[in-house]
Amino acid sequence: MSETNNTIKSKQNQYHHLTKEDRCKIETLINIKDQNGKRIYSNSFIAKTLAVHKSTISRELKNRIKSKIMIRTGNIKNKPYNANDAQNDYLFKRAMSKAKYKLEQFPKMTKFIESKIKDDKWAPDAIVGYMKTHNYFNREGFCKITTPTIYNAIRYNIINVKIDDTRRMKDNPKYEYHEKKNLPDSKKEYSINLRDESIDKRLIFGHFELDTVLSTRQGVHECLMTLTERKTRFEIIFKLKI
């Protein structure tokens, strides 16, 4: 595909939010002026430096120009661009623009979920399944919800439920790493690393690999032995007695 006729946007043209570092660069560049007090670097130059569109710089400066200050003479003029003020204003607007979680918007559903987890000891996926089969999603004060939403609400303290109240979210002890031990001398003569290289190429029929599969179901242990022929992938499975 031609580089001039593709539809993929280059990285420098992709949209991204300005950072505090970007705003400091903007403040520095717009304050560099010539002898007549005119800006040396245009919005286009600043945009190219920050790898953003020039309209992004224009909006950034326009939003800050709206701020007014009163000087000692009593006159009101535009407040000069300040990176710290611009960053604080951005963070405030971002915080105010975030939508509320579903469980914050539906307190009736929140209390129902809290009761099922704390009193009835239900798991979040069981609650979602019950609400779905009993048509709770169409009732007043309820809405459609998924299991991950409930788990996230618990993690972020959006609902009055602790991690200890649900079985599946309890912290499990971390897996302890055990250093791999070398093969005992008594078993080295049977090591798979000693087999002939021609076996690895799977050219000759008759070479099998053996493995066992142990499973537990309802307290009953069962074991399967598998024999797999390397060339044809033909497999034989036996159920072993334990």
pLDDT tens by residue, 35-87 = 888 999 999 999 999 989 989 998 888 877 655 554 555 566 667 888 888 88
Q: How confident is the model at residue 1 (pLDDT cuts 50, 70, 90)?
A: very low
Q: Over the stretch 94-142, which tens digit does the pLDDT of each residue have?
A: 766 666 777 888 899 999 999 999 888 888 889 999 999 999 988 998 9
The set of residues, in sequence order, having a beta carbon less than 8 Å from that of 12 and lying 6+ positions away, is 51
Q: What are phi and psi of 25, to 5 degrees?
A: -65, -40
Please tell me the pTM assigned to this model.
Answer: 0.38
| Tokens of residue 177, six digits | 């790493």
Q: Give the separation between CA 155 and CA 101, rounded to whole angstroms.
A: 13
SS3 155: helix
How many CB atoms neighbour CB 58 within 10 A?
14
